[in-house]
Amino acid sequence: MAEQPKPVAGRPGMPALYVALICSGVMLLGEAYQFLGMYSRNARLGFALLASALCLWLGKGTKLGYASIAIIWLAALLTWWPE
């Protein structure tokens, strides 16, 4: 009897990277189009904190999860830089 092939598993923490890229894109687009919900500094800080918590939960302590947090905070710092 032949062995069944093992299912191909994705890298652990990969959903955290996807969430980080989406949240960073939303943050940068909100800044570019001056969307009122993302235009204040407190709103961006709160959004970055919530997205970081979500990435920590999805990343489950992997290096990719920590890199996802770095992507989010890089986007947050880029929105604060021109002010």
CA contacts within 13 A on the Cβ side of 53: 5
- Which pTM does this prediction carry? 0.77
Q: Determine contact, residues 30/76, Cβ cutoff 8 Å.
A: no
Of the candidates 64, 61, 30, the residue with the CA atom closest to the CA atom of residue 44 = 30
What lies within 8 Å, CB to CB, of 18 at 6+ separation is: none
What residue ranges do the domains of the chain occupy? 14-80
Q: pLDDT per residue over 3-51, tens digit each?
A: 776 655 667 778 888 999 999 998 888 888 887 777 788 888 899 999 9
34 vs 2: which has the higher pLDDT: 34
How far apart (Å, rounded) are the C-alpha atoms in residues 1 and 56? 43
